[in-house]
Each structure stands twice: as structure tokens, then as C-alpha cells.
Amino acid sequence: MAGAIDLAAVKARSDAAARAAEAPAPSADDVVIDVTEATFQTAVLDRSFQVPVLLDLWAEWCQPCKQLSPVLERLAAEGAGSWVLAKIDTDANPRIAQALQVQSIPTVFAVIGGQLIPGFQGALPEAQVREFIDAVLQAGGEAGLSNAAQPNGSAEVEDAAAEDVSTEPDVPADPRFTAAEDAIEAGDYDLAIERYQAILSVEPANTEASFALGQVRLLKRVEKIDPAVLQAAAQQPDNIDLQLDAADLQLVGNRVDGALNGLLALIKRTAGDDRDRARERLLEYFDLLGPDDPRVGAARRELTRALF
């Protein structure tokens, strides 16, 4: 499932996972729910640590929505609790639609373990909708959601998975990483940075520590940024500090394209130290997103054109 990223919420996701662990698993009676801005955290984000959640963004006036929604509701009922359909009226909840950058409806997303995964727009044929749901369930299983069913409900697959779990030896957690993660959960980003740097001082090629260090540095920066910076940045396009802060907020808000495109545009219209700062921030994002993200390849090509 390409495109899943939520760098923003290392600590928030930990809290959500803890709440989900204490909450009852969804039953076959509550697999289709209406979600509002007030219930989004618990009904969608927290629940997504138990089972995948599909978001159906719709409106009463939308005719294609009236074709797609009944299909999704029926498939959710068939799923019998293996996934949850969260219906969001975009007219009644415009801030959710804005945060998700919804361009048209119906639009479907998936949420797994607090991570937003792009889905599709429009009323697709049922066969294609089923394929998407199967992919989401597969991703949920790979993410370790205990209540996520295997695609097609295959007993053989479940038995094989159980056998793998029973025969695979337990690998003890690295106490160095545990200590760093504990610092993140406590909100002590400076201590987490110090602990990841300690790992890298001994193992410079440790990619897991390097990636985690980049995440924590981003979290530390974002913690101090006022959300109003997005509006201020739009009004002051030549203010390098505002533009970098706005890009950070967009990235952690899963508006990856906006963050990358904003920095590329900044690089094209700046020079000297300002251009270097924007380029370094963009390269940092490339590392965080990873080489397999298709957006990275496209942005790298655009960066090359902008620089040369």
C-alpha cells in the first residue's frame, strides 16, 4: 500500500494505540458509523489501531455518492467487523474534507494504525471496490492489527499464519530503541534525539536509528509551530522561515505533495543561503519518505531541473 505516511503523530499514535487496546473490538452491529469532527479521533484514528477504517466522504446532493455508499455499506456488513466504514458528510464536516484535501466526492481513504492511505475517487464498480478492500485488509494484517481479517477469509491462510507465529522465535527488543521510544512517548524529544545519536555514534550505518532520528527532529520542530503559519506563509511567499515551517506542517499533516511542491517552488525563486536551506529541507523529506515512495522520484527529477 504505497503512500501511507504519518510522520506527525509518533506520540499521538502511541496514545491512540493505548486507547484502542482498552476499547472493545467492533462488532458486526457497528461496522458502519457516521463520523463528525468531534468523533473523528476516537471513531477513526483510535479505531484504526484495531481494524482498518475506510472513510467514505459524501454529501446529500452527490449522485455518485448514492451509488457508491450502499455498496460500501453492504461490503462492510459482509466483513462482519474485519473493517469499519466511517461515513463523513462533507457539508456538515468541512474541516475534515479540507484537512484531507478532498477535491471531489465521493472520495474513499483507508486508515491503518493512524496512517492515512489514499484510496479512490468516484463510484467504482463493485469488483474494483472489493479489490481495494482486500488490499486494505492485507495491509492491516501486515501492520499487525489483531482484528484485521485476511482477504477472502481464507482459513488456510489463517492456519499458515498461526503456524508461522508459533514457530518463529521471539526477537528481543533492542533496549536502546526502547529507551528512545520511551522518551518520545514522554514528549522529551531532546532525550530521544540524544539516544538515537548515541546509537549512530556506534553504528553509523544503522538505517533504523537514522530514520527515527529524522522523525524526532521533525516532531521537535513542529511542536513549536503555530498552525497559523500556513496562512502567514501564503501571504509572505518570500519569507524563508515561514515557508519552511509551513512545509513541515504540511508533511506531518500528510499533505506530502503540498510540502514537496512548496519547497521546490521555493528553491526555484531563491538563491544563496535561502536556496540551500530549502534544498536541505527537501532532501530531509526524501529520506523520511524513503526511496520507494513514487513522489520522491518525481520530486528529485524536478529538483535537478530547478538546480541545473
Q: Which of 62, 110, 148, 303 is catalytic?
A: 62
Q: Which of 5, 8, 65, 102 is catalytic?
A: 65
214 catalytic? Reply is no
62 catalytic? Reply is yes
What CA–CA distance (Å, rounded) separates 115 from 77?
Answer: 23
Which residues carry out catalysis?
A: 62, 65
